[in-house]
Each structure stands twice: as structure tokens, then as C-alpha cells.
Chain A
Amino acid sequence: MRSLIRTHATEFSLLAVIVIISAVLSFATANFFSLGNAFDLLNISAVNIIFAVGLLVVLIAGGIDISFAVAASVVQYGTAIALGWIGGGGWISGLLIAGSLGVLLGCFNAFLIHRFRIISIVATISTFNIYFGLLMFFTRGVSIYDLPDWLTDRVILFEREMPDGTWIEITLPVLVMIVCVIATWTLITRTTTGRQLYAFGDNPEGARRFGINIGAMQFIAFGWLGLMAGIGGLIQAHYAQEVVPNALYGRELDVLAAVVLGGARLGGGKGTVLGCVLGVLLISITQNGLNLMGVSPFAFKMIIGAIILIAITLSNTRIERLLPFVGQKGTGR
């Protein structure tokens, strides 16, 4: 148990923070501590968690991707148009089209990064501008509300009336999220490819000398994020019941902050699915709690930003290092 805590320090401290915040909110608000609210939280966070586990794979492989949220917007639009061509379709064809479009966009990033040795942040900032610029240019910023019925109908997989009269329900986004989380977890912890991704992210040159195919690593990591972005994009369209070209603009940085809060390292080789999910949940729970406490929605971002800033400050430092003047009197560093 002790070694488990030591090796998963980030996850345990996140869990502790979540428990503390939840406990405070349970006493402070009437509605927080209820199954209904917990399920609402899951439904709301589903899309962000799908994006987050995809981004986690890229971060583990030592890259960074700014373009995935915009790529998801492109996928939404492309899928909506493609579904119009084939005359409706269904969930299977929708997921297939969205997934493959996403993989295609992700592999384009991987191609630029691997073939031309462009650093991933430079490549993805370029593709961010290319995807978003072209999307806004061709769509002229027009949203699509005329989506097939199967895509906009709410799919409730499980519902039950609680004794106090509220309904709890699990909707399709949650199921898709669970599948994505399990698939990512299997990929990075239960397959050889997963171990290779960690090794590659930790030390690319070492991994290359060890005989790991570097090109394959880049394509797998960015392709996986592309797949998740595509699926997440479709689910977001399902959830919002519309396709708006700039709806996901700016989401990438929020997701990035949540994933890194969950213990993934910018620079590669570190990060777990559990930490990543907890990172997203911590932010959702805080937001949800502030909402229930009646705090102005305008203040949400401010408080969340401050929490992340404090969290990274505390997680990166020991207390004595915050007091440099005390430290200098001792034996020094």
C-alpha cells in the first residue's frame, strides 16, 4: 500500500483534494452530495475526458498538440456533411466517419513532425491555424442545426427514479467516454506499444537505439489523439445538438491544463489515465460546486485558474523552498 501511494503520489493527492472539496461542498450546499448530481457531472465531463485521454497519449510520447479541439470541429463539420451525402446513416457510420477523419487529421500532424523533423508545438500551432482558418473560410462561420435525428436524440442507457423524486441517468456520452478511457488504459499499460510510447517519450534517442520505430510511435500517438478528437467531436455534436464551427475553439488549453494537473509531464514519459481523468473531474467538480453555491458564473474561470496555479506551485515545491531567505542560512542547496 505504501509503495502504491509513493508511485501514484499525484493521483492520491488529487483524489484527496477531490474528497476534501466534495466534503466541503456536501456541507455547504444541499444538492451536491446526491447521485443525481454525480451523474450530471459525468455527463458534462464526458467530452473533455475523451479529449483528455487522447492528449495524454501524445504527452506521454513527448509531444504536445494544440490543434485537436479545432480538428474535432473540422470532424464535426465533415461528418455532418458526409452524413448528408450518404443520406442519414446511423451511429456506426457516424463513429466510423468521425473516427477516420480524426485519425487522418492526427496523422497529418504526425507526418509533419516525423518526416520534416518539425517540433510538435510548432507543427500543431501551424495546423491549428490551417484547420481553423480553412474551416471558418469554407463554412463562413455558419452553424449546422439540421442534423440526422439519431444524432440529436438523447440516448438514455440507464435511468432510475431516486426516492426523493430526482432522476439519475447515464447517457450515451458517458458510455463512449468509458470505452475510450478503457481503450486508452489498455493501450498504454497492457500492450508493448504502450511501453514503447513511455520509453520514446522519456528518451527518444535511447528508444531509437533500442530498436523502437520512432515514426510508428509518432503516428500511433497523434493518430490516437486524432481518433479521440474525432469521437469526442461527434459526441459533442450529439450533446449540443448542433455543429458550430468555433464552439470548441479554446477548449484545447483547458483540456491541456487538466491533463497536466493530472500528473502528465510536458516533456514525455510520465502520466496515467487515472490521473488524467481525476484532473478533468477536479475542475468539473469545482465548477459544479461553485455553481451550486450560487457564485457568479463569471467568477468560475478566475477561481479555477487560481486553483490550478496554486496546485502546480504546491506540487512542484517543498515548503522550505518557498522561503528562500530561510533556506540560504542553512547548508544551502
Chain B
Amino acid sequence: MTTVFERIKAAIGPEMAGPGLAFVAVVLVFGIASPQFLSAATFGSVAFQLPELGLLTLAMLLPILTGGLNLAITFTANLAGLTLAWVLKANGGADAGFGIFLVGSLLAVMVGAASGVVMGLVIAFTRAHPILVSLSMMIFLRGLGEFLTRGGDISGFPPFVGVIGHGSVAGIPVPLIVFVVCVLAWHLLLGRTKLGFNTYMIGSNLEATRYSGINTRKAIVLVYTLSGVMCAIAGIIMLARFNSVRIGHGESYLLITVLACFLGGVNPFGGFGRVIPVFVALVVLQLLSSGLNLIGANQHLATAVWGILLVGVMILRWAVSRIKISIVRRGS
């Protein structure tokens, strides 16, 4: 019995405690406060809203695991979205075929990857701080997007694009399917591949990793490239959800993706953190937002509560570590 318990504990991991507890607390509090909360409608709206923030958070997760940060995610996503929009526009607008959409998506992914490659190269070869590199990339991409669109938005896409944003297959929203596939891909990447292993190693100790014969530069470039690719996927989903692209879309998500990662137990210095707890943390954030909405508060209050939740989890973690220390001291 205890071995089963231990194995489950090992499988879930210590990172799960924070988001898991927060999940239970949110469901309990809003379940009592609002009778409509525990309904299909709530979870349906969460399922549609989750992917936008979730995909961007996945893009943020990999750089954080290496001890860096990618502040350019939202603008990379929108620039990729713009690429797709231009391809659709140039080939018939609302009458464009599915093939055109696929070509546009491919180009969008390439644009996202290109932004990641540049950041990765600068970070890996000059050892400049990732915050600064991605920050200047962010300023550059925002400027580029504003320059190319004059700050306006592009809309008017074929009807099937709307299906990707709003449709469902067998009752499951299409964006959610895309998101869950990406979560599983990241989970496998980090848990089962050499690159994933190297990512954790680099986050723990870059120098030691390099001396152990791993090509850390290649790994860092790959990590930022994959981050850019995930941004592009987020950009395509955002295009389909809003049915338009503007360089400023989702700008407020930037710091919330970092918040979601930390809430999901990712170590801010890198090296530790897993995908599934981050996924649960995202669900908690969206449930909070929906719950507050039901009670009658607006999105801005939800933003504030997200911040308070992160502080709360951090204080709780501090308290637990203090209790553990005192127990160890008493025991010895």
C-alpha cells in the first residue's frame, strides 16, 4: 500500500502540490459561492480560453527551464499570425483554400522559428543575459509589426479558419485539442529526449553541462527555436480565435505566462519544473477568471487575484520549507 502511495507521489512530483492545492481550493470556493460554477458551461468556456494563454506559456516554459526567459513571445506569435494573414490575403482572402492555409501556417512557423534562432544564437554565443536579448527582440518585433501594419488589424479569413478557433470535434473544442497535443509533445520532449535532458542540465549548471561534453550552444539555440515555433502555433490559434490579427493582441499575457510557470512550480533559476503541473496551474488561472466573472467581477480583478495567488503559493512554499527545517532540527 505504501509503495503504491510512494509511486504515485513520485509520479506526480513535489511540483504538483502548489497547483493541485490551488485547484482544489478554487473549485471548492467557487463551487460554494456560485451555484452555476460547477457546470458544463464554465468548463466549456475555460476549454476555449485556455489554449491562447496555454500555448504562450509552453513557449515561455522551455527558456525558463534553461535559466533564461523569452519576453518576445507575444510579439513573435502576432508576427507569425500576420504572416499567415498576409498569405491568406494575397491568395483570395475569404475564398482562400485549405492548401493556402497550410502553406501560410508553415511560413508562420518558420517566422516564429527564425525569431527564436536569432535570440538563441545571440544568447548562446555572446552569453548576453536572455532577459536583455529577448527584451530587445521584443522591442524590435513590436516595431516591425507596427511598421508593417501601421498599428491596424487584418481580418477577413476563410470560414474554415473560424472553425479552428470556435469549432469542436466530438464535443471537444479544436483549440483545446491543439493545446493538449502541444502539452503532450512538450511533456515527451522534456521527459524522453536528449534535448529535454540537456535543457534541465543547462538550467542546473551551464558550465558543468558544457564540461561534460554536451554541445550547450546547440541545445540553447534549439530551445529558443522551439519556443519560437510554439509562439507561431499560438499565433495561428489566436488568429482563428479573434478572426483578426493585430500586433498588440495578447500583450497582457506576457507576464501572466511567467506567472503561470512559477505557479506550476518551475524554478525561476531553471533546471527544475515539469509540464503537467504548469498545465494544472493554467487551468486554475482560467477557472479563477471564469469564477470571478460569474460572481460579477471583471477581468482586471482576475488579474489582481492571479498575482495574489502567486504570492500566496510562494508564501505557502516558504512556510512548508520552514516547517520541514524545524522538523529536521528536532529529529536530529
Q: Which residue numbers of A lie inside 8 Å of B, CB to CB?
A: 64, 66, 112, 116-119, 121-123, 125-130, 132-134, 136-137, 250, 253-254, 256-257, 260, 265-267, 296, 298-306, 308-309, 312-313, 316-317, 321-322, 324
Contact A312 B318 (CB under 8 A): no
CB distance from B150 to the nearest CB of A (A): 6
Choose the segment among B5-13, B19-27, B129-137 that binds chain A (4+ C-beta atoms closer than 8 Å).
B129-137
Q: List 6 A-B contacts (CB under 8 A).
A: A122-B310, A125-B259, A301-B140, A301-B143, A309-B137, A317-B125
Contact with A along B99-129 (1 / 0, CB 8 A): 0000000000000000000000010011111
CB distance from A244 to the nearest CB of B (A): 15
For window 281-310 of chain B, which residues contact chain A by CB distance below 8 Å? 297-298, 300-308, 310
Tell me, yes or no, whether B323 is within 8 Å of chain A by CB.
no
A285 and B20 CA atoms in complex are apart in Å by 50
* A128-B307, A302-B144, A322-B125 known; A266-B297 Cβ under 8 A: no
Contact B146 A301 (CB under 8 A): yes
CB < 8 Å neighbour of B122 from A128, A300, A312: A312
Complex contacts, A324 vs chain B, CB 8 Å: 125
Tell me, yes or no, whether B189 is within 8 Å of chain A by CB.
no
Contact A257 B255 (CB under 8 A): no
Contact B314 A301 (CB under 8 A): no
Contact A253 B126 (CB under 8 A): no
A298 and B150 CA atoms in complex are apart in Å by 6
Contact B135 A253 (CB under 8 A): yes
CB distance from B3 to the nearest CB of A (A): 34
CB < 8 Å neighbour of A116 from B140, B306, B314: B314
A300 and B315 CA atoms in complex are apart in Å by 42
Complex contacts, A134 vs chain B, CB 8 Å: 300-301, 304
Interface size bracket, B side:
35 or more
A322 and B122 CA atoms in complex are apart in Å by 9
A126 and B263 CA atoms in complex are apart in Å by 10
CB < 8 Å neighbour of A313 from B126, B138, B298: B126
A306 and B137 CA atoms in complex are apart in Å by 7
Contact B135 A257 (CB under 8 A): yes
CB distance from B19 to the nearest CB of A (A): 15
Name the residue of chain A whose CB is nearest to the CB of B308.
Answer: A130
A121 and B68 CA atoms in complex are apart in Å by 12
Contact A316 B268 (CB under 8 A): no
Tell me, yes or no, whether B185 is within 8 Å of chain A by CB.
no
The binding surface of chain B is classed by DSSP as: helix
CB distance from B215 to the nearest CB of A (A): 11
Nearest first, the 4 A-B pairs at minimum CB distance are A305-B140, A133-B304, A301-B143, A302-B143
Contact B140 A125 (CB under 8 A): no
Interface hub of B125, B307, B314 (most chain A Cβ within 10 A) = B307
Complex contacts, B197 vs chain A, CB 8 Å: none
Complex contacts, B125 vs chain A, CB 8 Å: 317, 321-322, 324
Name the residue of chain A whose CB is nearest to the CB of B131.
Answer: A266
Contact B259 A129 (CB under 8 A): yes
* A133-B305, A134-B304, A137-B301 known; A316-B139 Cβ under 8 A: no
A134 and B269 CA atoms in complex are apart in Å by 29
Tell me, yes or no, whether B245 is within 8 Å of chain A by CB.
no
Tell me, yes or no, whether B258 is within 8 Å of chain A by CB.
yes
Complex contacts, B143 vs chain A, CB 8 Å: 298-305
Contact B314 A123 (CB under 8 A): yes
Contact A133 B306 (CB under 8 A): yes
Complex contacts, A129 vs chain B, CB 8 Å: 255-256, 259, 303-304, 306-307, 310
Complex contacts, A300 vs chain B, CB 8 Å: 143
Complex contacts, B150 vs chain A, CB 8 Å: 298
* A253-B71, A317-B126 known; A305-B141 Cβ under 8 A: yes
Tell me, yes or no, whether B151 is within 8 Å of chain A by CB.
yes
CB distance from B332 to the nearest CB of A (A): 23
CB distance from A300 to the nearest CB of B (A): 6
CB < 8 Å neighbour of B318 from A116, A136, A313, A317: A116
Contact A116 B126 (CB under 8 A): no
Tell me, yes or no, whether B32 is within 8 Å of chain A by CB.
no
A312 and B126 CA atoms in complex are apart in Å by 8
Complex contacts, B256 vs chain A, CB 8 Å: 129
Tell me, yes or no, whether B142 is within 8 Å of chain A by CB.
yes
A21 and B278 CA atoms in complex are apart in Å by 46
